[in-house]
């Protein structure tokens, strides 16, 4: 089976840490069949001239082709109009790729798109042009947020139901696809996996020593983009309100984003912003903590929760998206309402002091590795060809 992947959600040599979930799943899929990736890069005229004001500044610097985890990856440029082009993003995306995709006629068997709009919607049109089936994988924000905008919503309602299969990473996303007019029989729940060679139970004391963290503290950890929609502002307010009453508590925030400078400048005592960390350091941070905290407003199935559980660490997260599917046992953690910083402040000290067995958490929280996830995806692609 020959698979052509189309997505903007994939790393490149200038942004190697991006979308590691797609990189790992598609690399595992590439061991089961032939896979080529069109990892698109948004571009618009005069982009470089705008300098620091450009939303996407790296289009001209990303290589046209590279090999990533054994996959041949091309980086075609797609015309993108920031802020004003959401309603016409799909035809612009499809038109940008059409000349390149036309060369794959009779050379591929199926198209796999990752991200609903414009990637997935455009992939439906491009697959029709090639006369092959198409499967669209949705992730979270594309359905929870983008699909709420009138223009993209109309396009998704028109095109996503025409896909041969839809992959949802959580049951909640599957329900939202049904609300967009997709038949339930076309929707398939395929969870993301975890690299179990990297994410597994490790010694907490050793991890803290290696990272230079206090050995006897109660450590909460946030990993993600430092942006408002991830609940980091709510977490900041919550921790600020309880820090004086809990002198043994520390909160470390791993990641970067547009809220980092302001929140870091006004951080309460023992709340530390450490910035973006190399992927290979993430298991070490998870091993060092007592509790992962993820108070997002919206989610699909966040890989950081899967990874924390695989490392034997409990989780306090928002009751949104696919998170209830993951924290289905009280031994794995607890959930709060999104945007509820007072509830978060109340639960955080309780959850941090909750005793637990790391190996039990890892066993209960297991959802399989990337090989299993790719195997399920491979089976779906094969069935769409039948």
The arithmetic mean of pLDDT across residues 59-64, rounded, is: 82
97 lies in the same domain as 211 = no
Among the listed ranges 50-59, 77-86, 181-190, which one has the minimum average pLDDT value? 50-59
146 lies in the same domain as 210 = no
Rounded-to-integer distance, Cα 124 and Cα 128, Å: 6
The arithmetic mean of pLDDT across residues 78-84, rounded, is: 81
Average pLDDT of every residue of the chain:
93
The arithmetic mean of pLDDT across residues 337-355, rounded, is: 96
The arithmetic mean of pLDDT across residues 167-185, rounded, is: 95
Spatial neighbors of 373 by CB under 8 A, at least 6 apart, are 25, 28, 190, 191, 192, 193
188 lies in the same domain as 242 = no
What pLDDT shows up at residue 55?
45
Q: Examine the pLDDT at 53 and tell me if it is beyond 50.
A: no
How many domains are contained in the chain? 2
At residue 50 the predicted structure's pLDDT band, cuts being 50, 70 and 90, is low
Q: Examine the pLDDT at 46 and tell me if it is beyond 80.
A: no
On whether residue 198 sits in a domain, the answer given is no
On whether residue 39 sits in a domain, the answer given is yes
325 lies in the same domain as 373 = no
On whether residue 341 sits in a domain, the answer given is yes
Residue-wise pLDDT for 2-25, tens only, equals 999 999 999 998 888 788 899 999
pTM for the whole structure: 0.86
33 lies in the same domain as 181 = yes
- List of long-range contacts for 283-286, beta carbons under 8 Å, 24+ apart: 283/198, 283/199, 283/200, 283/202, 283/307, 283/311, 284/202, 284/207, 284/210, 284/211, 285/207, 285/211, 285/221, 285/223, 285/252, 285/254, 286/199, 286/221, 286/223, 286/311, 286/313
Q: Examine the pLDDT at 177 and tell me if it is beyond 60.
A: yes
Residue-wise pLDDT for 258-268, tens only, equals 999 999 999 99
Q: Examine the pLDDT at 235 and tell me if it is beyond 60.
A: yes
Among the listed ranges 12-16, 53-57, 268-272, 373-377, which one has the minimum average pLDDT value? 53-57
On whether residue 58 sits in a domain, the answer given is yes
Spatial neighbors of 345 by CB under 8 A, at least 6 apart, are 237, 238, 239, 241, 242
211 lies in the same domain as 189 = no
What pLDDT shows up at residue 293?
98
What pLDDT shows up at residue 16?
86
At residue 47 the predicted structure's pLDDT band, cuts being 50, 70 and 90, is low
| Domain enclosing residue 220, as ranges | 204-365
The arithmetic mean of pLDDT across residues 129-146, rounded, is: 94
- To 5 degrees, how large is the angle CA 382–CA 188–CA 123? 65
233 lies in the same domain as 173 = no
Residue 43 main-chain phi, psi, to 5 deg? -145, 150
113 lies in the same domain as 155 = yes
Rounded-to-integer distance, Cα 247 and Cα 226, Å: 24
What pLDDT shows up at residue 56?
47
The arithmetic mean of pLDDT across residues 121-131, rounded, is: 98
Residue-wise pLDDT for 185-204, tens only, equals 999 999 999 999 999 999 99
What pLDDT shows up at residue 118?
97
187 lies in the same domain as 256 = no
164 lies in the same domain as 132 = yes
Place of tokens 């989610």: 299
Residue 116 main-chain phi, psi, to 5 deg? -70, -40
At residue 66 the predicted structure's pLDDT band, cuts being 50, 70 and 90, is very high
The arithmetic mean of pLDDT across residues 269-278, rounded, is: 94
339 lies in the same domain as 377 = no
On whether residue 210 sits in a domain, the answer given is yes
Q: Examine the pLDDT at 103 and tell me if it is beyond 80.
A: yes
On whether residue 199 sits in a domain, the answer given is no
- To 5 degrees, how large is the angle CA 112–CA 113–CA 115? 150
Domain at 241, CATH number: 3.40.50.2000
What pLDDT shows up at residue 61?
83
The arithmetic mean of pLDDT across residues 321-335, rounded, is: 94
On whether residue 141 sits in a domain, the answer given is yes
150 lies in the same domain as 209 = no
């Amino acid at each position: 089976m020959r698979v052509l992947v189309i997505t903007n959600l994939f790393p490149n040599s200038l942004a190697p840490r991006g979308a590691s979930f797609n990189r790992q799943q598609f690399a595992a899929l590439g061991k089961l069949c032939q896979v080529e990736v069109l990892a698109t890069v948004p571009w618009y005229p005069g982009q470089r001239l705008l300098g620091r004001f450009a939303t996407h500044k790296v289009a001209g610097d990303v290589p046209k082709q590279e090999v990533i985890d054994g996959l041949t990856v091309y980086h075609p440029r797609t015309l993108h109009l920031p802020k004003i082009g959401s309603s016409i993003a799909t035809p612009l995306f499809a038109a940008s790729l059409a000349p390149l995709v036309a060369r794959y006629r009779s050379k591929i068997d199926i198209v796999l798109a990752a991200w609903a709009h414009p990637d997935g919607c455009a992939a439906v049109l491009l697959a029709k042009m090639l006369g092959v089936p198409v499967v669209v994988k949705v992730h979270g924000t594309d359905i929870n947020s983008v699909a709420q905008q009138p223009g993209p919503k109309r396009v998704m309602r028109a095109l996503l139901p025409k896909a041969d299969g839809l992959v949802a990473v959580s049951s909640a996303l599957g329900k939202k696809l049904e609300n967009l007019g997709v038949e339930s029989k076309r929707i398939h729940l395929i969870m993301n996996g975890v690299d179990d060679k990297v994410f597994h139970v490790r010694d907490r004391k050793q991890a803290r020593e290696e990272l230079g963290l206090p050995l006897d503290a109660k450590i909460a950890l946030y990993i993600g983009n430092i942006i408002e929609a991830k609940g980091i502002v709510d977490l900041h307010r919550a921790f600020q309100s309880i820090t004086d009453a809990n002198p043994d508590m520390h909160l470390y925030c791993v990641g970067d984003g547009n809220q980092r400078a302001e929140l870091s400048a006004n951080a309460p005592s023992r709340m530390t912003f450490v910035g973006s960390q190399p992927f290979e350091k993430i298991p070490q941070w998870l091993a060092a903590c007592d509790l992962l905290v993820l108070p997002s407003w919206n989610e699909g199935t966040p890989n950081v929760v899967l990874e924390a559980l695989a490392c034997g660490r409990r989780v306090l997260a928002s009751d949104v998206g696919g998170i209830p599917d993951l924290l289905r046992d009280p031994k794995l953690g607890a959930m709060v309402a999104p945007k509820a910083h007072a509830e978060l402040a109340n639960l955080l000290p309780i959850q941090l002091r909750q005793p637990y067995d790391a190996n039990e958490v890892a066993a209960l929280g297991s959802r399989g590795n990337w090989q299993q996830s790719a195997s399920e995806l491979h089976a779906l692609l094969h069935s769409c060809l039948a």
